[in-house]
Amino acid sequence: MDSIIRQKQLSISEVVTARAADEAVKIGSAASYDYWEAVYVISGLINVIAGGRVLKCKTGTLTLHKPGELHFIKPVNGSDAKYCIIGFCAEGDCIPKLQNAAVELSAFERLVMDGLLADIGDEPESGLPERLLDNPYLSERFIVGLELLLLYCAEKPSVYDEAQSADARLFSSAVKIMEENLLFGLSVENLADKLNISLSYLKRIFANFTSAGVHEYFTALKINRAKEMLKEGVSVTKTAELTGFNNQNYFSAAFKRITGILPKDYAGVKRVFDRNATSKSSQTKANDMPSYLL
């Protein structure tokens, strides 16, 4: 007799953060994390800037960002936007299908998402709602619901509206040039020249899409790469050199400004709370940790 044998395609081991928000996520408060992040547009219109792409996401759109991906969120001007962020650790065969996913949820999938939003609540949280930490049945239901939603997303084609405005194309080109010159001392003026636009126009583009300056964004890209190198065991001195910082003290100061921790301490820190911790006190302590550690 034939039967269906469960073949686990996705397993979420922990949910790190789950909160609603309506503000722009800027450099220093977001940058990149060491876990997956799902961004769902509850209402309005937002720009999600990820990997140099500008994604214009409307109500009902879900984007997924893999660990280490530099991404930012900014409500589109004039849009009373609200969105939800869920950070999680996961593994499974369908993970590659979730990378760079940006999908519009179906009516049923929105119902699943509405259930997750009800568990999160309306008030913005810095980490996880207490009710999810206090109730093991609720937290289990939340994780199973999130797994179900992501399994549906893994089979959907990305249908995001990637902004094709002149500014969006220039922004993407600028980020590509930055990524190609992480080792070098690329000035803001040099970048404007390479794009054949004025310095003031370049600055306005970055302010509109990221709420950050051009130099600040370039530094964030460098620090993001530095984090990868430090985790791979590269020394602080060599990492500073390979990311274009001529002065190690300046590198350390920039690294701490963006991540909240010195580079010499980064490789050894715990980036997710203890998987074996089950007590409320240990979970609450984890929620008090800066987001770069999670």
Task: Name the helix (H) or strand (E) containing 7.
Answer: none
Determine the pLDDT at residue 268.
Answer: 66
Q: What is the mean pLDDT of each run of 10 residues along the chain (294 residues)?
A: 82 91 58 81 89 86 88 79 91 88 94 94 71 90 95 87 79 92 86 95 88 86 89 90 88 88 76 35 34 29
What contacts 239, CB < 8 A, 6 or more positions away?
226, 229, 230, 251, 263
Q: Return the residue matching tokens 């000035």.
A: 187
Determine the pLDDT at residue 294.
Answer: 26
What contacts 87, CB < 8 A, 6 or more positions away?
15, 16, 17, 18, 33, 35, 36, 37, 38, 294
Q: Which CATH architecture has domain 11-161?
A: Sandwich (2.60)
Where do the structural domains in the chain lie, given as residue ranges?
A: 11-161, 164-266
Instruction: Judge whether 11-161 and 164-266 match in fold.
Output: no
Separation between Cα atoms, residue 193 and residue 57, nearest integer Å: 31
Phi/psi of residue 61, nearest 5 degrees: -95, 135
Q: Could you confirm whether domain 164-266 is CATH 1.10.10.60?
A: yes
- AA identity, residue 79: S
Query: What is the DSSP secondary structure assignment for residue 25, as one 8-state letter?
Result: B
**pTM: predicted TM-score of the whole model, two decimal places:** 0.79
Determine the pLDDT at residue 282.
Answer: 33
Determine the pLDDT at residue 199.
Answer: 94
Phi/psi of residue 14, nearest 5 degrees: -160, 150
Determine the pLDDT at residue 213.
Answer: 86
